[in-house]
Structure 1
Amino acid sequence: MNNTRHLNITTLFSSILLLGYSQYSYAEQIQTVNTQLPTLTLEAEKSSSMKTATGLDLTLKETPQSVSVIAEQTLKQQGVTSIADALKRTTGINVIRDSGRYRFQSRGFYIDQIEEDGLSSTVPGAASNPFRTASNSTELDIYDHIEVLRGATGLTQANSEPGGTINAVRKHPTEDFQMHGYLQGGRWNSVRSMLDISGALNQNNSVRARTVTAIGHADSFKQDISNDTALLYSVFDFDLTPATLLRWGAMYQKNSNTPDYFGLPMATGGTDTGLPASTYLAAKWSTQQFEKYNTFAELQYHLNDDWSISSKINANFNQSIEKFAGLAQLAQSYSGISDSDSNLKMNNQQYYDNESHEVTANIGLNGKYHVFNNTHDLFATFSYSRLQENSRWKRVINDTAYDVWTFSPDMIEQPDWNNIQNLFNDIEYHSQLEQKALSLGTRVNFFNALHLILGGRYTDFKSSGDHQYYVWKYQPDSEYVKAQTVSKHKFIPYLGLTYDFTPETSAYISHTKIFKPQSSKDVSGNILPPVIGVNDEVGLKSSWFDQRFNTSLALFRIKQQNRAMQDLNNTNFSIAEGKVNSQGVELELSGQATNQLTLFAGYTYNKSKYLKTESNTYPQGAHFSKHTPNQMFRFYSQYQFEGVLNQLSAGLGLQAQTATSSLYNIPQGGYTLWDANLQYQIHPQLSINLIGQNLTDKRYYENQRMRITGGNNFLGTPRNILVRLDWKY
């Protein structure tokens, strides 16, 4: 996409925005139409309440921050089965690869926390070196919908990056019996199936259960890469009394992947080499093996119609084995592949044996109180979490060079990982992170139109770690290193104000602070003070057609300071003087625009910069997050035909972004990816869906902060065609 076409993103969004608002003139028709719809209806649920942003049960319109909801139905239509692919299709989220994991960013900053039913856990790779992280993302099949909040979340999380948070809402048991599933297949031997069964287990429906199982296999457009998945999830609801609900569930997930840690090299000058998309420059024996055991429980008790108390606990136990070798030269001095030199050196051979245990719990009180002739909302929550990560790292130094045009993955032999004479190092790492927090907030409702959310979160944070050497530089070693414990506490205030101009439209403003402990040290050996800052947002939200169609406009600004930067007088140490700014605008339309049309459109404009020179690479005024596009636009629509075509629906979507770069100035021009689907209702209980992704077969590289001439360049997936069969009973 050239610079002229970049402007078309804004123009296209403006046109769709006008289309969405034009539907308002048809509201009366939508509410009164008496046409008999076909069996295949497009479900656009009313805005449900959520606690992701504030801890209070609020609708999308009532929440004074930017929130998107990704419904299961939307994912079905697009053939999406991973959380990374789901987030690539929502407003403002930049999905990047980081050391074999997918990480998520919003407004130029990482999203460090992902919630499941409101309980936070750490995004894989966010708490430590991603190579030493055992956890892996949970498969989408167990979730009913995904809530994505952009910007700092001071009331629910106060010690993470200000990018936002993700709340994945699990599927829960139903009273009525239901059973459905799907079988999906596509290019590169991709096959996946899922079965979901739910219903009551006794006559009075006081005991209910739900089980989801999924299994899948997929090769890749890259040679010798494959992915196998197996999942089993069960959850039970028990009505202990009419006012008391006990929920318990468990999940087991196993993933076996062939990793591609380093991608492709670039040619001299950072240009595309033209290597075939199928090129895999790594050892054939490279593998990632993940196992996840999850169990959770929740107890809800309704004291009366106004007050309830709940307690939740969530525990994750993860194990992984990763071993790999690949071609990559990650030094800035490497100039790239050329006609005269097409050799690329190997970036060593590595082995990681990881495990992690994470437990999160909270107890919360929610209710209403009545003063000044009005009803107001209040919540209080105490939360606790503890993350323990252990990792054993073995490395064999090997920089053998291979010609990238003739390389084959079976050329690299796997070393004997138990032979210490092969090992440059063998080190065991341990880290612990413990957090306790108390949150308190209220929503004061003035005159039924003006609403003030006021609250705060007091967080106590402690982290520690150590590592044990067994081998160093091919010699047995017994050195033990204890890391300095980081212990911090902070009160984070939160302020949100909304005003209802009409029953459909509200304006809002919100303010919260940023707090994140860091581990870098100054010249005196002291841990640097935490990263701090502020997150401000103003906007407009509307909810139309009985809350079935939502629109939002947000202006945001994030300032972050106390960032660790190199001490120029003592280059082995750091000082807390870095400062950055990120600001922009977001627009979103989502929901059922007419009886036949379901629509989603999200546009983001984001500019970030360094407010102070942090190094020669990061001068004042330079772009802070060069791998984040200045503009992103995501769109998808699904149209249900009528008359003789009433069993048919069609969808069209796109993902567009402007140009990006990387820390090492590797450019990627702007591009647009087109998706489409055609769904046919064979029978009231059976439908078939033909799905096309990247229909124009666009060749592009994924956004990645560490792209460099010698590696970390990952080609996006070429054109993919899927067929999906959905059935229900």
Structure 2
Amino acid sequence: MKQYSAIAKAVCIGLLASSSSVVLADDAKVNMEHIEVVGKHHRDVGATGLPLAIGDTPQSISIVDSEFMDFHDVNSAGEALVHSAGVYSETSLGNRERFVFSRGFEMNRFLIDGMGAAGRPSQTTLLDTSMFESVEVIRGSTGMLQEVGQPSGTVNLVQKRAYNGTGGAVSAEVGSWNRLRAEADFNTTLNDSGTMRARFVTAVEDADSFVDRANTDRTMFYTTFSADITDALQVSLFASYQDDGQGALSDGLPYQFTTGERVDIGIEANIYPDWATQDTQQDSLLGEARYQINDDWNVVARFHTSNLDDDKVYAGLWWHVEPNGDYALFANEKHVEYQSDRAEIGVNGQFSFLGREHSINFTLANSEFDEYQTTYRPLARPAGNLIAEHTGESPQAKPANPGFNYDAPAVREANIESQSARVAFNLQVLDNLNVLLGANHKDITSSSTNRNITSEFDFKDTSLYYGGVYKFTEQFLMYASYTDIFDQRQTYDKSGKLLDPVSGENKELGFRYSNQDDSLSVDIAYFQIDQENYPVEAGKHEDTSLIYYEAQSGIESEGYEVEISGYVTEQWYAAVSFSDIDMTNPNYISGRVSRVVPDKIASFNTFYDFEDFRIGGYLTYTGEREGFIGERNAEYVPVDSHVLGGFSAQYEINDDLSVKLNIHNLFDKEYDSKVAFYTVRPGTPRNYALELNYNF
């Protein structure tokens, strides 16, 4: 088996660098046998918009690359984030989307090649990983990068690029619960000189579930085109479309009877009707032009538009189940449209001053986000009996579709427009000390109509970023950074009024070590986050199920993260990470922030290469946390910690053909993955996948 290079030769796309993506070298990819990515400490990143190596960036950065995702059968962005250091990726009650947390707070900003995705973060976690080179996370505030700077971090999904050559791969996979999946990835050079290149990726999937009657399906198409117009000018285009469907949508199991006694029913039970469905369509179009003025200066212009359409017929428990089994469902039909547009132009350069080389980035950007949401109330309240529907030889049918009032929808509209100007410097003060200074000025106009309440706001804010990296030796360094927090969220109070922006500070101190050949790295970070006007979930509207929030201040988070990764030998790779946070919230609805996220999370993954065989696995640890029962005056209940394991093995039959086995939840651990409102989502039991892959 060919070795996976620790520092490979492939795509070098900046993490979160909306204006610092680099051009793919013509010879960057020579075959499709293994997808290789640039080693962790040699990536260009852009936490400040500057093209910096990770070692020169004073914030914590983690990368889950395509090699890891392919080997461990990770097929969505949300699944990839389970394995990212310092990140807690929690499944939704529907066991479909994921909520992602870092440093105690939800990560509500997902980017595609540095440009904002239209969907809510939970919806963006559905995106298929077959179109991405890596899933990358920068932890801490990134207000220097985008118009918002929320404290937990930002996820950047780095798309695959076309390379100079012809080749590809196809794969077919079968798995537990009738899971069928197929992928194809094809690249070609369009002319003899190699100046025009194209790539096409597609994935289709259909699967049942361990939950009765529940079914999911997915169709994804992705294509990209690059052309070298001249030696100095390159243009690229990236386009994707994904459709995710779900039938017999399950919202979890009833947690308890009205008496307080726990409901004991098999994890396979689906108490919800077949008419509870969801279909989510996401598309993205990104254009990029790069002009290399000379060896030191370049200009990058980019435009990105993305859309999300979500149609959902929802059915969830209205209240706890009665002792005799009677229950009522809350139902609605909802259609949501999101659109995000962003255009920007950036100048990157290097200059000499006082005998040293420094770098600068200046970027102008204009972005707009639109939301349109309609919710239809049911004509009657569906009701059933849990006992009659799940016992006996002829169980009672599920509640019928109540029909919906399409003449009187509840409508929510929102629009956010922003213009920003960003400047950032990387100053090489000493041979072993670089200082980063930056400012991002934003002018934001926000308007919304919700529950017949119109809110309009104009904000002006300048996010500041400063930090430094001091290298004790070529292998050992220390960094420190400070970043403003400014985040205008689409969150509303009970009356329907849009809440004011979140503000605060993010401070970080870290140490990094890497050996001379970068085969081993150690990262340690300490952080402290303070926030004002933070939106905390306060309840649901009874007529529409829309969540409303209250703004709270004095919320703090501090903790540390440790990540160690590298090659123990030339054949044996291992990585381990651990994070510990301490959240404080002096307000009366404190639990929705500080109690539902585990204080401690950890992960471990490893593989060992033989001549034609690779074997590996992973462990993830989720610490103790709490779930909440009810809504505004919720009761908090303990959720136990758990450890999940996975096993992966790949055998190369010949140079072109390989077979792979994956086992998830290796030890068949029984656990509760989420407890919220009136239901509990059991964790997915042990499951298998077998894949055949052909390269050409």
TM normalised by structure 2 equals 0.86
Corresponding position of 1:361:
343
- Shift in alpha-carbon separation, 1:191–1:521, aligned structure 2, 3 A: closer
Residue pair 2:118, 2:307 contacting (<8 A) in 1 also: no
Q: Distance in 2 between matches of 1:167 and 1:512?
A: 19
Does residue 660 (structure 1) correspond to residue 660 (structure 2)? The answer is: no
The farther-off stretch of 408-417 and 168-177 is 408-417
- Shift in alpha-carbon separation, 1:208–1:170, aligned structure 2, 3 A: same
What is the aligned counterpart of 2:63 among 49, 53, 69?
A: 69
Does residue 544 (structure 1) correspond to residue 521 (structure 2)? The answer is: no
- Shift in alpha-carbon separation, 1:591–1:311, aligned structure 2, 3 A: farther
Corresponding position of 2:684:
717
Instruction: State how 1:326-341 maps to structure 2 within 5 Å.
Output: 326-329=316-319, 334=320, 341=323
Corresponding position of 1:602:
577
Q: Distance in 1 between matches of 2:330 and 2:537?
A: 28
What is the aligned counterpart of 2:288 among 289, 294, 298?
A: 298
Residue pair 2:248, 2:273 contacting (<8 A) in 1 also: no
Corresponding position of 2:429:
446
Corresponding position of 1:321:
311
Paired residue type of 2:409: D
Does residue 402 (structure 1) correspond to residue 402 (structure 2)? The answer is: no
Q: Deviation of residue 123 (structure 1)?
A: 4.9
What is the SS of the residue equivalent to 1:204?
coil
- Shift in alpha-carbon separation, 1:191–1:518, aligned structure 2, 3 A: closer
Does residue 57 (structure 1) correspond to residue 22 (structure 2)? The answer is: no
Q: Deviation of residue 523 (structure 1)?
A: 13
Residue pair 1:44, 1:548 contacting (<8 A) in 2 also: no
Does residue 629 (structure 1) correspond to residue 598 (structure 2)? The answer is: yes
Q: Distance in 1 between matches of 2:318 and 2:129?
A: 32
Q: Distance in 1 between matches of 2:659 and 2:103?
A: 38
Paired residue type of 1:208: R
- Shift in alpha-carbon separation, 1:702–1:198, aligned structure 2, 3 A: same
Does residue 681 (structure 1) correspond to residue 652 (structure 2)? The answer is: yes
Gaps of 5+ in 1: 1-19, 21-38, 127-132, 469-480, 568-572
- Shift in alpha-carbon separation, 1:454–1:77, aligned structure 2, 3 A: same
Query: What CA deviation, in whole Å up to 9, does each residue of 1:639-693 have, x standing for no partner?
Result: 112xxxx212210210112211024312211111111112111111121111111
Residue pair 1:119, 1:314 contacting (<8 A) in 2 also: yes
Instruction: State how 1:137-156 maps to structure 2 within 5 Å.
Output: 137-156=126-145
Corresponding position of 1:46:
39
Instruction: Number of aligned residue pairs: give it.
Output: 642
Corresponding position of 2:169:
180
Corresponding position of 1:200:
189
Corresponding position of 2:398:
411
Indicate the percent of aligned positions where both proteins have the same amino acid.
25
The farther-off stretch of 542-551 and 289-298 is 542-551
What is the SS of the residue equivalent to 2:212?
coil
Corresponding position of 1:459:
442
- Shift in alpha-carbon separation, 1:203–1:271, aligned structure 2, 3 A: farther
What is the SS of the residue equivalent to 2:78?
helix
Residue pair 1:51, 1:118 contacting (<8 A) in 2 also: no
Does residue 104 (structure 1) correspond to residue 100 (structure 2)? The answer is: yes
What is the aligned counterpart of 1:346 among 303, 314, 328?
A: 328
What is the SS of the residue equivalent to 1:547?
coil
Instruction: State how 1:5-20 maps to structure 2 within 5 Å.
Output: none
Q: Deviation of residue 183 (structure 1)?
A: 1.6
Corresponding position of 2:219:
230
What is the SS of the residue equivalent to 1:533?
strand
Residue pair 2:376, 2:405 contacting (<8 A) in 1 also: no
Does residue 579 (structure 1) correspond to residue 579 (structure 2)? The answer is: no
* CA-based RMSD: 2.9
The farther-off stretch of 207-216 and 112-121 is 112-121
What is the aligned counterpart of 1:387 among 369, 373, 381?
A: 369
Corresponding position of 1:189:
178
Residue pair 1:182, 1:726 contacting (<8 A) in 2 also: yes
Paired residue type of 1:456: A
Q: Deviation of residue 411 (structure 1)?
A: 1.4
Residue pair 1:112, 1:160 contacting (<8 A) in 2 also: no
What is the SS of the residue equivalent to 2:627?
coil
Corresponding position of 2:302:
312
Does residue 159 (structure 1) correspond to residue 148 (structure 2)? The answer is: yes
TM normalised by structure 1 equals 0.82
Paired residue type of 2:211: K
Gaps of 5+ in 2: 1-5, 7-31, 539-547, 629-634
- Shift in alpha-carbon separation, 1:517–1:43, aligned structure 2, 3 A: closer
Residue pair 1:369, 1:375 contacting (<8 A) in 2 also: yes
Q: Distance in 2 between matches of 1:209 and 1:526?
A: 47
Q: Distance in 1 between matches of 2:418 and 2:523?
A: 34
Query: What CA deviation, in whole Å up to 9, does each residue of 1:355-384 have, x standing for no partner?
Result: 222112211111111111111111111222
Q: Return the structure number with greater relative CO, CA threshold 8 A, min gap 6.
A: 1
Instruction: State how 1:441-590 maps to structure 2 within 5 Å.
Output: 441-466=424-449, 481=452, 483-517=454-488, 529-563=500-534, 578-590=553-565
Q: Deviation of residue 42 (structure 1)?
A: 9.8
Does residue 639 (structure 1) correspond to residue 629 (structure 2)? The answer is: no
